Structure 1
Amino acid sequence: MSETEADLSPVGLSLCDGAFKTLSAAFDRANGGFGGAPKFPPSMTLEFLLRYWKRSGDQEAIQIVRKTADSMAAGGIYDQLGGGFHRYSVDAFWLVPHFEKMLYDNAQLARIYLHLYQAVKEPFYRRIAEEILDYVLREMTSSEGGFYSSQDADSEGEEGKFFVWTPKEIRQALEPDDPEPFLDYFGVTEDGNFEGKNILKISRKDSLYNALDDRVAKAREKLFQYREKRVKPFRDEKILTSWNGLMLAAMAEAAAALNNQNYLDAACKNADFLLNLHTTFSDGAESEIRVFRTLKSDGKPIQGFLDDYANLADGLIEVFQCTGKTHYLKVARLVAERMLQDFWDEENGGFYYTAKDSEELIVRNKDIYDNATPSGNSVAADILLRLARFFNDEKYERYANATLRAVARQIKRFPQGFGRALSAIEFAAGKVREIVIVGEAGNDLERAVRSEYLPLSIIAPVRSERDATIPVISGRVSINDRPTFYICENYVCQRPVTSVSAAIEMLEDF
């Protein structure tokens, strides 16, 4: 299936409506999540449900997301002292985790809690998002700016040893302070809940949205510092482009939404790290960009797979949406063009996992399911849909819609395996807006707009740079030298405004 043969029409939203009904039926109303034990954080499904709620207004959808997010953040699957989520829960109620921490989980979960905060303005969700990202900066970031892959479950030969406590240990660590408020809040008992010891969990869920009691907050910080003296789990310091792209997108989006300079610095440093060391331009020609998966111990690169290309492009788009630096958006487009050239299935549509010039394989497989990480096909469709809007180029939209149609039948049968694809369908078939904000970084207008949950939009900040090669920002200027807000649909724009209240009112109309 060539680009010219691909149909521009998107997969219908009826597929999303059917998926919601299936997910609602599978929802664990007592504990959150879907099905029984073991339970993995359903990040991509939650993102789809957030988008579904935003479009339809269906309150059950947002209730499913909040119940699941609350239960996970209150449970032992979440590191209540240091932030970040463990890989999965061995039970149905998020208490006992497999203690390994994965970069890809925390990247996707950070965005879920960030989006929940934007959607409902509950500060608890912001705190969880920030704690995840602060954990990554503290524990999972190299000095060069790359993000490490994982931390093991065990230390000193025992699974979970770094994370569990006895009441006696806590009392000793907190002396001379009163430990009782902390023990009560986190449900610590003499019997314990894990092999005679305690995995910390929030036992008083009725107070989940309340600010932490000062005594609990102080004890929490003190116990964290005490824990830092323990032998830490082994850290896998591989730097994978695909997983880094996921965290890059989360870090950049949080930088914009929360106006956080640390996250912005980390995002830009990571983007530059990946572009300098995990990509190459053959013969200096930007059109010949190649993406690597990782570097071997001898510094030699391993050829990139579809998810490396797609997730890198996703992260670069988010860095542009945060900074307005058009270089990142242009490179994202180059990565997408190379992805289309090397991975596209001309006969059946969709993308192969391996490039056409990779090692000779009997069969080139396709990765279509959104499992622990999003499939390369889902992310590819997502980024192509957004690039189509930035560059006013229907070619990308055709490829994206052909990719989604290729998996529509499987989505109908098993929607839980296609959360990222369903989110892309919501975008493809929805009422998308192009938002342009002209003004210096950090202006009040941009901060107000970025604090909102706007899944059916692309955002283009315009600084002093005026790049006419990017259609969405071409000709967009400030009014009376003030930050100026444009909102458009298919490049037909409403009257630009300069006040925060006027901009928010226009956003509420869609």
Structure 2
Amino acid sequence: MAAESFEDRATADYLNEHFVSVKVDREERPDVDAVYMEAVQAATGQGGWPMTVFLTPDAEPFYFGTYFPPSPRHGLPSFRQVLEGVRQAWADRRAEVGEVAGKIVRDLAQREIAHQGAQPPGEQELAQALLGLTREYDPQRGGFAGAPKFPPSMVLEFLLRHHARTGAEGALQMARDTCERMARGGIYDQLGGGFARYSVDRDWIVPHFEKMLYDNALLCRVYAHLWRATGSDLARRVALETADFMVRELGTAQGGFSSALDADSDDGTGRHVEGAYYVWTPAELRETLGEQDAALAAQYFGVTEEGTFEHGRSVLQLPQGEGAFDAERIASVKDRLLARRAQRPEPGRDDKVVAAWNGLAIAALAETGAYFGRPDLVEAAVGAADLLVRVHLDEHARLARTSRDGRTGPNAGVLEDYADVAEGFLALASVTGEGVWLDFAGLLLDHVLNRFTDPGSGALYDTASDAERLIRRPQDPTDNATPSGWTAAAGALLSYAAHTGSEAHRTAAERALGVVKALGPRVPRFIGWGLAVAEALLDGPREIAVVGPALGEERTTALHRTALLGTAPGAVVAVGTVDSDEFPLLAGRPLVGGGAAAYVCRDFTCDAPTTDPERLGTVVGTR
């Protein structure tokens, strides 16, 4: 619509004469997007973007839709016809328009989520959720439902946690097969690493080529956890390549991570074309590699004369897997193709730093770096966390939603920002043994308790109690492309309670999870993160305290690594010396025989300590 209507001179002149036009960046203001999307869905039964909403001067919606074409087609009026109709209605029937707008706002106000007295889900609800996912699972292709197919990151985390807690092989099989299908498909960048936004087909072949930070952070963590559970070489490779992609291509000079890479780029003729940076023809392979290696590359990556994309071009994939090919020769081919691709015009980068998405990246990079002995990835996580503290946090520990070039943006953080940044800080505390990150997480979660939580019901709101007033206070517990702020907050609250013994935080987490009891059995695909948090609650979660004579000492390091590699759902890890006061979990946990020891606890009640990493691994599920 930007190209067809907003940039059309006649349409723009008409808009400017009769309307006050507001274009909302839904990444900057997810709250504004959420309340009007709810109105669109309530009135039309469907939603989507672009979203077109006409408001009264009091910001009350009275007419809306999604896409309107520049000329009438397929039963849709043109955008100009819509503008003329709305203007006429406002001029001739203003009282009627006001009544409609008022009714819409009143109806929205009655849609509060019933939450009073809700209890967290138990075994029955989680089993029903797993059964629902099994029914929707695509056993031939992996993933759920049909095209377009989105990476089910939060559901995959639930499946891995459910398997770890119950041993349900079906859950692991769905997670493993989906991850393999995605990793071998065109949705994954076979040369540079990282995932595109979604696949337009059911087979993961042709993506929408935009690469988002949040997708890659969530999937990096999922593949790292899949490796932790199974030892899969493919999972290890994809986790590391995705982590490297984030650092290399989304990292900013200030230490944070940019939001996205565009889908389109210059195709070499001055035209911006989707996928131009990523797709190949057989002729381009021959020009880059020579005849023999081009033939190998075409077979390996599934490049054909007909193409799998537009105009005879192919998206690189791994249709036959990797085992049948010479690894050294394939590595050479990939290096040369990557070098050639680097000569193409690159996709544009949205260099906005979003707090929530950086929190997800911090958690993924910290854990991936710890699992695979990559301190550079942990340092990248620390750098992003430091940026959030320096730039996004004010003196009252209130978060700004975005920054750019080290300058704070104008918009206040929403619930997902506080929750996901707290999640990242808690992961960083477990990996680094630096208690300051636990302290920062606590400051953020204090705001969740005081400014985002309904004190009566324990329900959570997406905006703070003192945020800019909209026509309604948005509140949505279901996942979208990222975990919902509601369930992400429940997870961070539960982890913080496990670290500190805070009953207030645990109670808040349990109350927040009541919505998962209602929605999990009915719509499990859309509340995957809540289901994953519920798995942690049912497992304890386990609290693992590792004390040693010194950080970095051999046995302390071995116990700490074993604890981090445990698959117990949502387990928290604290590591430090016996006299450390940075982690409450370490208090009163002495050395054993003068050496390092690990204590595995639930609700601060611990089993007998162990000095043996292998024994610890048996207790916490380390492979």
What TM-score do you get using the length of structure 2 for normalisation?
0.76
Distance 1:344 1:211 in 2: 55
Q: Partner of 2:397 in structure 1?
A: 289
- SS of the residue corresponding to residue 218 of structure 2 reads helix
Shift in Å, 1:483? 3.1
Q: Which of 480-489 and 401-410 deviates more?
A: 480-489
- SS of the residue corresponding to residue 462 of structure 1 reads strand
Shift in Å, 1:489? 2.3
Q: Partner of 1:507 in structure 2?
A: 620
Q: What CA deviation, in whole Å up to 9, does each residue of 1:72-115 have, x standing for no partner?
A: 00000000000000000000000000000000000100011000
Distance 1:131 1:347 in 2: 46
Distance 2:287 2:350 in 1: 32
Instruction: Tell me if the contact between 1:13 and 1:425 (Cα under 8 Å) persists in the aligned partners.
Output: no
Matches within 5 A, 1:297-446: 299-439=408-548, 440-441=551-552, 443-446=557-560
Q: 1:430 to 1:503 in 2, by over 3 A?
A: closer
Instruction: Tell me if the contact between 2:566 and 2:621 (Cα under 8 Å) persists in the aligned partners.
Output: no
Distance 2:594 2:255 in 1: 36
1:200 aligns with 2:316: yes
Q: What CA deviation, in whole Å up to 9, does each residue of 1:407-442 have, x standing for no partner?
A: 432333211110000011111122432111224247
Q: What CA deviation, in whole Å up to 9, does each residue of 1:115-158 have, x standing for no partner?
A: 00000011110100000000011100011111000001000111
Question: What letter matches 2:344 in structure 1?
Answer: R
Query: Match for 1:121 among 216, 222, 231?
Result: 231
Q: Which of 83-92 and 183-192 deviates more?
A: 183-192
Instruction: Tell me if the contact between 2:159 and 2:175 (Cα under 8 Å) persists in the aligned partners.
Output: yes
Q: Partner of 2:21 in structure 1?
A: none
Matches within 5 A, 1:11-410: 11-156=121-266, 157-175=272-290, 178-195=293-310, 196-205=312-321, 207=322, 213-281=327-395, 288-295=396-403, 299-410=408-519
- SS of the residue corresponding to residue 438 of structure 1 reads strand
Distance 1:299 1:38 in 2: 35
Query: Match for 2:600 among 446, 466, 487?
Result: 487
Question: What letter matches 2:373 in structure 1?
Answer: N
Distance 1:253 1:116 in 2: 12
Q: 1:431 to 1:388 in 2, by over 3 A?
A: closer
Q: 1:191 to 1:241 in 2, by over 3 A?
A: same
Distance 1:437 1:40 in 2: 39
Instruction: Tell me if the contact between 1:6 and 1:399 (Cα under 8 Å) persists in the aligned partners.
Output: no
Q: 1:431 to 1:389 in 2, by over 3 A?
A: closer
Q: Partner of 2:574 in structure 1?
A: 460
Distance 2:252 2:539 in 1: 39
Q: 1:228 to 1:265 in 2, by over 3 A?
A: same
Instruction: Tell me if the contact between 1:39 and 1:88 (Cα under 8 Å) persists in the aligned partners.
Output: yes
What residue ranges of structure 1 are gaps of 5+ in the alignment? 282-287
Distance 1:272 1:245 in 2: 11
Distance 1:407 1:502 in 2: 35
RMSD after superposition: 2.2
Instruction: Tell me if the contact between 1:7 and 1:401 (Cα under 8 Å) persists in the aligned partners.
Output: no
Distance 2:402 2:578 in 1: 35
Q: What CA deviation, in whole Å up to 9, does each residue of 1:243-284 have, x standing for no partner?
A: 111111111111222221111110111111100100012xxx
Question: What letter matches 2:275 in structure 1?
Answer: G
Shift in Å, 1:289? 1.6
Distance 1:35 1:509 in 2: 33
Question: What letter matches 2:485 in structure 1?
Answer: G
- SS of the residue corresponding to residue 179 of structure 1 reads helix
Q: Partner of 2:46 in structure 1?
A: none
Distance 1:508 1:295 in 2: 40
Shift in Å, 1:55? 1.6
Q: What CA deviation, in whole Å up to 9, does each residue of 1:175-199 have, x standing for no partner?
A: 4873332221111222211121111
Q: Partner of 1:285 in structure 2?
A: none
Shift in Å, 1:495? 2.4
Shift in Å, 1:386? 1.1
What residue ranges of structure 2 are gaps of 5+ in the alignment? 1-114, 267-271
Instruction: Tell me if the contact between 2:353 and 2:404 (Cα under 8 Å) persists in the aligned partners.
Output: no
Where relative contact order (Cα < 8 A, 6+ residues apart) is larger, the structure is 1
Distance 2:569 2:534 in 1: 12
Shift in Å, 1:494? 2.3
Shift in Å, 1:346? 2.5
Distance 1:197 1:344 in 2: 51
Q: Partner of 1:284 in structure 2?
A: none
Instruction: Tell me if the contact between 2:476 and 2:486 (Cα under 8 Å) persists in the aligned partners.
Output: yes
Instruction: Tell me if the contact between 2:117 and 2:457 (Cα under 8 Å) persists in the aligned partners.
Output: no
Q: What CA deviation, in whole Å up to 9, does each residue of 1:14-36 have, x standing for no partner?
A: 11100000000110011000111
Question: What letter matches 1:203 in structure 2?
Answer: P
Shift in Å, 1:508? 4.5
Shift in Å, 1:490? 2.3
Distance 2:470 2:517 in 1: 27
Instruction: Tell me if the contact between 2:431 and 2:564 (Cα under 8 Å) persists in the aligned partners.
Output: no
- SS of the residue corresponding to residue 460 of structure 1 reads strand
Distance 2:622 2:229 in 1: 15
Q: 1:254 to 1:461 in 2, by over 3 A?
A: same
